[in-house]
Amino acid sequence: MTSSPRKNRPSRPKDRGGRGAGKQTEKPIQKGISCLIPGFHGVKEALLQDRIRIQKILIAEGKASGRTEEILGLAERSHVPV
């Protein structure tokens, strides 16, 4: 007795997605939620996105560099205190 070829195949994932699979919908940020964004790149991206409200930016003393100047310029443009 031989088994059918289908039984020898690995099972498929139960949720195959269907229409719109893999698409992420942007959810509005809830009021009162705060988070810390570490690093120059993360802070830069947050400043470039108008939908994220940034309260203030903290930069360690002695960290002056071209990246720091870029963050300072973006913060000034967005009226974010540093």
> Measured between alpha carbons, how far is 58 from 25 in angstroms, rounded to an integer?
30
Residue range 8-40, pLDDT digits in tens: 766 666 655 555 555 555 555 566 667 888 889
pTM for the complete prediction? 0.55
Q: Report which of 82, 76, 42, 44 is spatially closest to residue 60, judged by C-alpha positions.
A: 82
pLDDT in tens, 44-70: 999 998 777 888 998 888 867 888 999
